[in-house]
Amino acid sequence: MKKWKSQFMLALAAVGVGSALVGGATFAYFSDQEVVNNTFAAGTLDLSVNKQVVYDVKNIKPGDYMVRYFTIKNSGTLDIEKVLMHSKYTVSDAKGDNGTEDFGDHLYVEFLTSDGQVILLNESLGELQRKTSNGQSPDISTLYTSLKKLPVGDEDTIAMKVIFKENGQDQNKFQGDTLSLTWNLEAFQGKGTEL
């Protein structure tokens, strides 16, 4: 008799603990889930140039001039806002007699429209190199369109004339010298917009 009571009480106690446990920690609820997929695909900014070498001229003398063309194209999916032309050159002084004079100060660059008429820019290579090191490289994408852009798929043909200018003085120190010029064309995206 006593045993049965105590057993019952033990069972109750166990249930009580269990229910206390059950009552304290459960979060059972109805729920539902939906999945939303989002894709952010970045566009590409891709400038291509149709030539790797534009000027390769030998045996030049004061008074000589050379006209060459190259085409820049937007091959990406994003509009190009500007194309900076960075200029950097080295001079190989054949007789070591140039002193402080720079061969690049005697080579002048003119940008022409595609019909060769209007001069849009007239700088010596020396000036262009100085502008580049001052962070003032010219934007060649503005020379041809008033939109100041190279939109996707657009092509611009750049016509250039380089002149070894006669300055009416002895330029013999540059005989046999070679100037190696690298143009680094850097294209940039436009401002962020709402899509």
Partner 1 sequence: MNLKKQFALTLASVGLGAALIGGGTFAYFSDQEKVENTFAAGTLDLAVNPEVVFDLKNMKPGDKAKRSYKLTNNGTLAIQNVFLTSDYTITDAKGNNAEDLGKHLRVNFIYNVDNKDVIVYSDTLSEMKAKQGVARPDLLAGHTLNAKDINDIRVEIEFVENNKDQNQFQGDGVKLKWTFDATQTKGKEL
Applying CB under 8 A, which residues contact partner 1?
42-49, 51-67, 70, 72, 76, 78, 94, 103, 107, 162, 164, 166, 172, 174-189
153 in Cβ contact with 77 (< 8 Å): no
Query: Cβ closer to partner 1: 45 or 112?
Result: 45
Quick one: which of 45, 49, 42 has its CA closest to 189?
45
Query: Cβ closer to partner 1: 55 or 120?
Result: 55
CB of 18 to partner 1, least distance (A): 27
157 in Cβ contact with 114 (< 8 Å): yes
Q: How far is CA 158 from CA 71, 75, 182, in A?
A: 6, 17, 16
Q: Which two three-digit tokens encode residue 142?
A: 């503005």
Quick one: which of 81, 101, 83, 82 has its CA closest to 93?
101
Query: Cβ closer to partner 1: 86 or 130?
Result: 86
CB of 19 to partner 1, least distance (A): 25
CB of 118 to partner 1, least distance (A): 19
CB of 137 to partner 1, least distance (A): 12
Query: Cβ closer to partner 1: 28 or 53?
Result: 53
**How many angstroms separate the CA atoms of 97 and 173, rounded?**
6
Q: Which two three-digit tokens encode residue 64?
A: 């000589």
CB of 15 to partner 1, least distance (A): 31
Query: Cβ closer to partner 1: 48 or 157?
Result: 48
